Structure 1
Amino acid sequence: MMIFRKVGAVFFSATFLLAACGQGEEESSTSYREPFEGKVEHVHGVGFVGGDDLALAAHDGLKFYSDGNCQRTTSENNDYMGFNAVDNGFYTSGHPGKDSPLPNPIGIQKSNDLGQNLDAVAFEGEFDFHLMGVGYENHAIYIWNEHGNEALEEGLHKSLDEGKSFEAVESSGVKGEIKDLAVHPTNEEMIAVATKQGIFLSEDGGQTFDALSEKPNGTFVYFKEDTLTYGTFDSQAHVIRYAIEDQSFEEIAIPKFEQDAVAYFSSDPEEENRMMIFSFKNDGYYTENGGKNWSKIVDQGKSERIKREDNH
């Protein structure tokens, strides 16, 4: 059985070629973004930032899909990890790019202008967090520190004051190595983690977790106000939507993957049926109708304009 990782030495390199994307299109209205073609390595998150724009966080900056075309940033081309879109921008961790004055590692940073400027939140110059979740509206920050030191011990920590202070939390009940974590958009005490042994949900700020699904190989977790969407992999990839109030489960129809699974997922904050999935092996799909029809926008590393076609 194939086991997938988001972090560590055996992380599937999310490398894909954005070829001829944006060619022939009008220049961006700002010099910060321009039509792009080239190589992008190590995607560590996707999210709808600034309304309609779909961002992919990569090791050399952000790449945006807007009106079916792709663009790149012209500055702050940092190695973004732990990327989380929020209501007024995004939070991220990682390492500075060649043109950035940021220290290495960058700790936790926040941007309110699509990444043109970054503001230090915490641990600048000290940590790089691959596993970080931030609530979309409440901005509650949860981090899993894999390598503790005197500044921050190993394990799960949270900040409910936008990074001014952090406290360790017990995280009892979690089984298996954590692959992803997510925070509810308005309830700062509700978080979820995906591990090699399943999906686990906490409603007491991470102190205790209950198994929501113990299917093997949890791959991602993603909250909206009323739902938790998560991924698993057995002999094939699955995306499940869990309704928090009535505790029901619904499987979302996704394209068929060959020995691959969904690494990252995001949906439009204003329209749940508008979603993107990105796989460990560099395939990306976009839907506007909740998965009834999918458009393949990244095909084994090659990016295309967003099209309207059925790829079930």
Structure 2
Amino acid sequence: MRRTLLVPTLIMTVFLASCGGAEPVSETIAPDTEENEAPTEQAPDRWEATKTGTTVSHIHGAGFWQDGRPVIATHTGLMEFREDGWYELSSNRHDYMGFELVADGFYASGHPAQDSPYENPLGVVRGTEKGETLEIRSLEGEADFHYMSVGYETESIYVYLEQATKELAPGFYRSLDGGVSFEPMKMDGIVGRGIAGISADASEPKRVFVYGPDGILVSDDGADTFEPFNDQGNIVTMATAKEKLAYITKQDASFELVVSDLTEETETSIDLPSMSADNVPIELVMEADRLLLATSDNSVYVFEDEGWTQLLKAGNVN
């Protein structure tokens, strides 16, 4: 901090006035003042460290937050992984379904917490501030989307509706306005093919993939018409990123992870982490060169720097 010494300055002014023959000139010296900067207010951290021994069940979505931390959607709300372990959001502890990250937040469906003002089911929810702020987009009290995929950059939403609402019959729908309204998808080209899931392209709003026991199909017109993308056999889960996609195939009791570069038209196999024989990959997320994998026994793994690290083992927080 810089201080202004006023006393020596005043003494010098008086001395010059007494020694000079001319009439003294009055000087007004404005003292410097220290800038009073308002202290920066830090937002309270509403994430609490998950207690050792906690059991995590029902992982219904996963991803990487905008700050790079892994996050999973569980039966009792959101959990993120930090350097010192798992943390859980103390508010909005909903049973999220179809949880999908986008560039500045996420979309989800599911069931509200018991003390929540929201109707059951949630319909389509958009979350920001890591889930601290929620906005109901549509179908509150009507729809619970277990099968929902959202483009990371585009926010195009593709869903399968299992139970009818007041206006929508069961079937495949898309929303190009962030979940405010939905229109049916024609789905031409899928007759005779099994569908296990749907995956929106990260950056092309009308590109969407469906996958299952007969490989992957792709549509470039918002899921009105599909054509084969590959015939790599039984696809159990897949993920998209900008100009990339990753998928896991199952053959007999073994799984294989493949990353496809859509620009270079190349495919690279990546060894999966060691899993028990009855464990199945259920969630796969891709961000640049990182991957996040959740399995049917509620284990979570992250792939980075060419290796896998287990973040959660069989749902048990250590």
- Among residues 308, 311, 318, which one is paired with 1:294 in the alignment? 308
Question: Which has the higher mean CA deviation after the structures are superposed, 32-41 or 102-111?
Answer: 32-41
> How much does 1:246 deviate?
4.2
The residue aligned with 1:95 is 111
Aligned residue in 2 for 1:24: none
Residue in 2 aligned with 1:187? 204
Tell me what 1:276 maps to: 292
Q: 1:150 Cα deviation (Å)?
A: 4.2
Alignment of 1:267 with 2:283, yes or no, is no
Is residue 225 from structure 1 mapped to residue 239 from structure 2 by the alignment? no
Could you list the runs of 5+ residues in structure 2 that have no partner in the other structure? 1-41
Q: Is the 8 A contact 1:93 1:109 kept in 2?
A: yes
Identity across matched positions, percent:
29
Name the counterpart of 1:66: 82
TM-aligned CA deviation for residue 69 of structure 1 = 1.5
Alignment equivalent of 1:238, drawn from 244, 252, 256: 256
What is residue 5 of structure 1 aligned with on the other side? none
In 2, distance between residues paired with 1:218 and 1:275?
17
How far does the alpha carbon of each residue in 1:125-170 deviate from its partner, in whole angstroms, 9 at most, with x for none? Answer: 1000011111111111111112234421222111111123211111
Give distance in 2, aligned partners of 1:149 and 1:176: 26
Deviation of 1:176 (Å): 4.2
Separation in 2, partners of 1:248, 1:172: 28
Q: 1:140·1:158 contact (CA, 8 Å) conserved in 2?
A: yes
Question: Contact between 1:61 and 1:77, CA under 8 Å: does it hold in 2?
Answer: yes
> Is the Cα–Cα contact under 8 Å of residues 159 and 166 in structure 1 kept in the other structure?
yes
CA deviations over 1:20-72 (Å, ceiling 9, x no partner): xxxxxxxx973521001222220011011232221100111001102242101
3-state secondary structure, aligned to 1:114: helix
Q: For the pair shown, which has the larger CA radius of gyration, 1 or 2? A: 2
Using the TM superposition, give the Cα deviation of residue 177 of structure 1 relative to its aligned residue in structure 2, in angstroms. Answer: 4.3
Distance 1:217 1:99, change over 3 A: farther
In structure 2, the CA distance between the partners of 1:68 and 1:237, relative to structure 1 (3 Å rule), is farther
Does residue 30 in structure 1 map to residue 51 in structure 2?
no
Count of matched residue pairs: 272
- Residue 269 of structure 2 is aligned to residue 251 of structure 1: yes
Match of residue 229 from structure 2: 212
Aligned to 1:112: 128
**C-alpha distance in 1, partners of 2:105/2:96?**
14
The aligned amino acid for 1:295 is T
Counterpart for residue 128 of structure 1? 144
Amino acid of the residue matched to residue 209 of structure 2? Answer: A
Distance in structure 1 (CA, Å) of the matches to 2:193 and 2:312: 31
Deviates more, 1:93-102 or 1:292-301: 292-301
CA offsets, 1:6-31, max 9 Å, x none? xxxxxxxxxxxxxxxxxxxxxx9735
Partner amino acid, structure 1, of 2:186: E
**Which of residues 158, 175, 198 in structure 2 aligns to 1:142?**
158
**Partner residue in 2 for 1:20:** none
Q: Which has the higher contact order (CA 8 A, sep 6+)?
A: 1
Partner secondary structure for residue 181 of structure 2:
coil
CA contact (8 A) 2:69 2:81 kept: yes
Give the Cα–Cα distance (whole angstroms) in 1 for the partners of residues 195 and 88 of structure 2. 31
What is the alpha-carbon distance in structure 2 between the residues aligned to residue 226 and residue 104 of structure 1?
37
Q: Which amino acid is the alignment partner of residue 191 of structure 1?
A: V
User: TM-score, normalised on structure 1?
Assistant: 0.81
Distance 1:209 1:247, change over 3 A: farther
Corresponding residue of 1:21: none
Structure 1 unaligned regions, length at least 5: 1-27, 305-312
2:213 match = 196
Instruction: Tell me, in whole angstroms, the C-alpha distance in 2 between the residues paired with 1:278 and 1:222.
Output: 12
Distance 2:299 2:122 in 1: 28
Change (3 A) 1:76 1:166: same
Is the 2:57–2:315 Cα contact (8 Å) retained in structure 1? Answer: no
Q: Which of 59, 69, 82 is the equivalent residue of 1:53?
A: 69
Using the TM superposition, give the Cα deviation of residue 208 of structure 1 relative to its aligned residue in structure 2, in angstroms: 1.6
Determine helix, strand or coil for the equivalent of 2:307: coil
